[in-house]
Amino acid sequence: MTTGSLTDQLATIAGESALSTWTEPSSARELPLLTPPDEESCVRALQLATENQLALIPIGLGGKTSQTRAAKRADFALSMRGVAGVEAYEPGDGTVTVRAGTTMSELQAVVNAGGHRLTPDVPLPDRSTIGGVIAAGQSGFDRLRFGPIRNHVLGLRVLLGDGTGALTGGRLVKNVTGYDLQRLYAGSRGSLCLIVEASLRLFPLPESELVFTGQTPSLELAMESLRRAGELPLTWDTLSIAGQSGCYRVLAALSGRDAMLSSHRSNVDACIAELDSLQTFEGELARTARDSARDAELTGGWPHLRLLCRPSELSRQSELIFSALRELSESPPRIQVHPRIATLDLWLSEPDATRRSEQLIELFEVAATHSLHIEWLGSQRALAQELAASDTTTPALRLMTKLQSSLDPAGVFARGRFLGGL
Amino acid sequence: MNAKVHSELRAIVGDRGIVDSPTRIVPYESDGLAILRQRPELVLLPRTTEETAACMQVLHREGVPIVPRGAGTGLAGGATPVEGGVVIGLARMREVLELNVEDRFARVQAGLVNASLTRACEKHDLFYAPDPSSQRACTLGGNIAANSGGPHCFKYGNTTQHVLGLVIVTHDGEVLELTESDVEPLGYDLVGLFVGSEGTFGIATEIKLRLVRRPPVVETLLAIFTDLDSACETATKMIARRLEPSAIEILDKLTIQAVEDSVFAAGYPREAGAVLLTEVEGLEEEVSATSEDIRAIFSECGAIEVRTARDDAERLSLWAGRKGAFGAMGRVAPDLYVADACVPRTKLGAMVQQTVEIAKELNLRLATVFHAGDGNLHPNICYDRRDQDEVRRVLEAGRRILESCVDAGGSLSGEHGVGLEKLEQMEYQFAAEDLATMCLVRDVWDPDRRLNPGKLIPLRACMETRAAFIGKTPQDIAR
């Protein structure tokens, strides 16, 4: 099918106004973008793809596609942004069912009004759809308290490659009927199905919030302060460190009953007393401070690299990465650390893309030597090809490939964007 | 199974790892759903992942059906060898392989009993959160297969939220190591997909589990009501007012009486129409504030008395009564049918009332004990399996209760799984396309459908809907 006839066909599905163009970040190729206004149009787009052996890239607002590798083949992109809105919100039950194209901020506004809190608390919620967040398996700034997003997706309604609709899970907070396919779909980055609707568990809005911030030139002191805070018998929302060599900003966020926060405030102060520029925020100011730190995570885009490990290993493994980087570049990286979750996100300072790719490849070699688990989150094509070639074929990866072939035999969902060519 | 294969399997697991005598094999005919029984050809009890893999390779070569089994405490017939074949039991895989206090996880063999893990880590002020009523007997491998719950899963979530990694032996004896990352899966979440697959994807032999810090303060409250409706209304109000205790359990009058007549006697008042048992955990100030809010709801809903456990011994006794309730029902009748369904928490009272009416209409004795906080109902029907008419009425009541729950927006199971018991009702809850998708996934893990055959998804649904998918008739794909 020529590009012209493809756009003509797409236009027949939802009209010219639903058509635009979109550039795949990893390949810089421009693709026709269809934004269907409803689920029925999504089904027709998938059927068109199946009948004509086309491959499509599903997106929400497209923000997270820079985290994926270049598709082996892609004929068009399909945005779910038009399929939006809350289907059912049951305040008395603490659950919500929402269409995939709804932004996180739209959803947050609805449930907040009903006394509920939405997790995950992702950066830039007005630029993320719930479908995109689930497809990317993106957990939030509140992960320390609530866990990863996959724990809170109660059910999903999806479309398979040929347009067949299928439901998994339900709208209940507890349910073990049938396979947990929502766990398979969450984090599958649009490589298995198109998410059209999700049911989520909600949590009560807290009575009070407190956010503690401080600064230090020493990463070790920042880590030690948060280690002490983490040992307190408190349920933390967030413990994070962000910054660059010479200036690290520490944030510790708590929420819950008023009496509890008042009573333990001084214990937290003692843990972080050695930091500079200490500040404590309450109520609305606390939320602003937390949101601002959360959104700052993505200043300059998605991180280039993420180290994942056990909490007790984080300092040692981080130092291996930093030490390797010092050999490669004079400019220190910007980092974001969640010590209790045990993740280190890293943005390289090297402005030249080719040189940056070389640095990343070297860091992967260091990681392989020391058996570190690092994820590459960027999208540059040369690096993607190099890393794809190094994906090890394990029994697990073979099983994943079979799952993909079984659920999407025609390859409607563009392949090669995820681990191991999935 | 011929003698040569038998000897080959014996050589792998040793004399103590094989059960084939007619008397010793009887307990393996069913799990807790004793109403449905079938004798397996053989039972194997391997000690390690390697032995399990070697057994599975032989059975794959021979095309023998395999039924994985933990302790056999399941209540949905999930471990019943409905098509015969070989049962592979976890009973001899009971080691704690690693206890990491600093990073709060444990690596265990799958046959370790649930409560043994908490015992192993309690001196470090840690515990394993999912606490099914059978936790003193059920295995962690069985918990993985069923995605088990328990009273405190209201706060902590079902088993799936606590599994960090798995070692799985697949249908052909390949070992799948899914233990590389605690934080995020590498690729698809195969661990999350496997949990709750009821033995149809493979056998988990080693499990990495998250441990939780013991809360500094725990307060256990027992509210006493004259009737079951008021207890249900209380639970619904607690959820609607966004309160977060760690458990909300309700026991009705018949259950209270059975418990108080048994070794699990907890001091529940015999004259009560229902009791609501709740627990609040955390720091002193939050426990105090939440308890005060809960007491206000108790009062509003007409609780005639509220008791607070004075010490750990009293708290444990109150919970022993709750967790021993199923066992205590043995005093009421020789057999017990434990239903398990979930409903939206706004519909608790109406659905409990409906189960009472169904039992009344069919002239059955119903005892209700359930996880009210999660909307997870357990209507228990007391019966005698020697009375064939009563058995028929029990099964009809079970079917009607489950279908009523689905009609109210609920589901067939909250924690026991589908197993054999709810197989046919899967078509009531799910559309053909939903089941077909599940079949596609099952066939990837076990293309010959030899792992726990006849469970979870009705074969008819698989054949018909799968055919629709690939353009063939059911006869084309029937084996």
Q: What CATH number is given to the structural domain containing B308?
A: 3.40.462.10
Let me know whether A197 and A247 are in one domain.
Answer: no
Per-residue pLDDT of chain B (479 residues; tens, 9 = 90+): 899 999 999 999 999 999 999 999 999 999 988 888 899 999 999 999 999 999 999 999 999 999 999 999 999 999 999 999 999 999 999 999 999 999 999 999 999 999 999 999 999 999 999 999 999 999 999 999 999 999 999 999 999 999 999 999 999 999 999 987 778 888 899 999 999 999 999 999 999 999 999 999 999 999 999 999 999 999 999 999 999 899 999 999 999 999 999 999 999 999 999 999 999 999 999 999 999 999 999 999 999 999 999 999 999 999 999 999 988 988 889 999 999 999 999 999 999 999 999 999 999 999 999 999 999 999 999 999 899 999 999 999 999 999 999 999 999 999 999 999 999 999 999 999 999 999 999 999 999 999 999 999 997 766 655 454 444 443 443 33
Torsional sign, CA A383, A385, A387, A390:
negative
Let me know whether A174 and A133 are in one domain.
Answer: yes
According to DSSP, the β-strands at B42-44 and B86-89 are parallel
**Cβ B434–A168 below 8 Å, yes or no?**
yes
- Report the complex ipTM: 0.95
Let me know whether A23 and A69 are in one domain.
Answer: yes
Let me know whether B226 and B369 are in one domain.
Answer: yes
Let me know whether A267 and A181 are in one domain.
Answer: no
Name the residue in chain B with its Cα closest to that of A164.
Answer: B433
Count: domains in chain A: 3
Closest CA to B135 of B160, B123, B155, B153: B153
Which chain B positions have a beta carbon within 8 Å of A418's beta carbon?
187
Let me know whether A387 and A292 are in one domain.
Answer: no
The reply to whether B130 falls in a domain is: no
Residue A381: per-residue pLDDT? 60
Confidence class for position A391, pLDDT limits 50, 70, 90? low
Residue finishing a domain among B89, B105, B140: B89
Reply yes or no on whether the pLDDT at A382 is more than 70: no
Let me know whether B392 and B436 are in one domain.
Answer: no
According to DSSP, the β-strands at B96-100 and A95-99 are unpaired
The reply to whether B382 falls in a domain is: yes
Let me know whether B323 and B434 are in one domain.
Answer: no
- The whole-angstrom distance between A256's CA and the closest CA on chain B is 8
Let me know whether A163 and A237 are in one domain.
Answer: no
CA distance B314 to B316: 5
Q: What is the mean pLDDT of residues A375-394?
A: 67
Residue A146: give the domain boundaries.
1-205+381-422
Count: domains in chain B: 3
Let me know whether B222 and B347 are in one domain.
Answer: yes
**Cβ A422–B216 below 8 Å, yes or no?**
no
- Tell me, what CATH number does B56's domain have? 3.30.43.10
Let me know whether B400 and B309 are in one domain.
Answer: yes
Backbone angles phi, psi at B428, to 5 degrees: -80, -40
Let me know whether A354 and A371 are in one domain.
Answer: yes
Residue A386: per-residue pLDDT? 65
A94 to chain B, any CB pair closer than 8 A? The answer is yes
Let me know whether B227 and B79 are in one domain.
Answer: no
- Tell me, what CATH number does A281's domain have? 3.30.70.260
**Cβ A204–B440 below 8 Å, yes or no?**
no
Backbone angles phi, psi at B154, to 5 degrees: -55, -40
Torsional sign, CA A123, A128, A129, A135:
negative
> pLDDT tens, A306-353?
999 999 999 999 999 999 999 988 888 999 999 999 999 999 988 888
Residue B236: give the domain boundaries.
217-407
Which chain A positions have a beta carbon within 8 Å of B244's beta carbon?
204
A369 to chain B, any CB pair closer than 8 A? The answer is no
Let me know whether A351 and A401 are in one domain.
Answer: no
CA distance A383 to A381: 5
Residue A27: per-residue pLDDT? 85
Which chain B positions have a beta carbon within 8 Å of A90's beta carbon?
344, 346
Residue finishing a domain among A296, A321, A341: A296
Count Cβ atoms within 10 A of the Cβ of residue A396 and give its class: 0-12 exposed, 13-18 middle, 19 or more buried. buried
CA distance B148 to B133: 10
Residue A67: per-residue pLDDT? 79
A77 to chain B, any CB pair closer than 8 A? The answer is no
> pLDDT tens, A148-197?
999 999 999 999 999 999 999 999 999 999 999 999 999 999 999 999 99
Confidence class for position A379, pLDDT limits 50, 70, 90? low
Restricting to A residues 306-365, those with a Cβ less than 8 Å away from any Cβ of B are 308-312, 341-343
Name the residue in chain B with its Cα closest to that of A314.
Answer: B103
- The whole-angstrom distance between A412's CA and the closest CA on chain B is 15
Let me know whether A152 and A83 are in one domain.
Answer: yes
Let me know whether B382 and B436 are in one domain.
Answer: no
Name the residue in chain A with its Cα closest to that of B458.
Answer: A178
Which chain A positions have a beta carbon within 8 Å of B286's beta carbon?
256-257, 259-260
Let me know whether B9 and B57 are in one domain.
Answer: yes
Let me know whether B357 and B442 are in one domain.
Answer: no
A266 to chain B, any CB pair closer than 8 A? The answer is no
Let me know whether B323 and B375 are in one domain.
Answer: yes
Residue finishing a domain among A233, A268, A296: A296
Distances A249 to A224, A232, A240 between C-alpha atoms, Å: 13, 20, 8
Q: Which H helix or E strand runs over A208?
A: strand A208-216
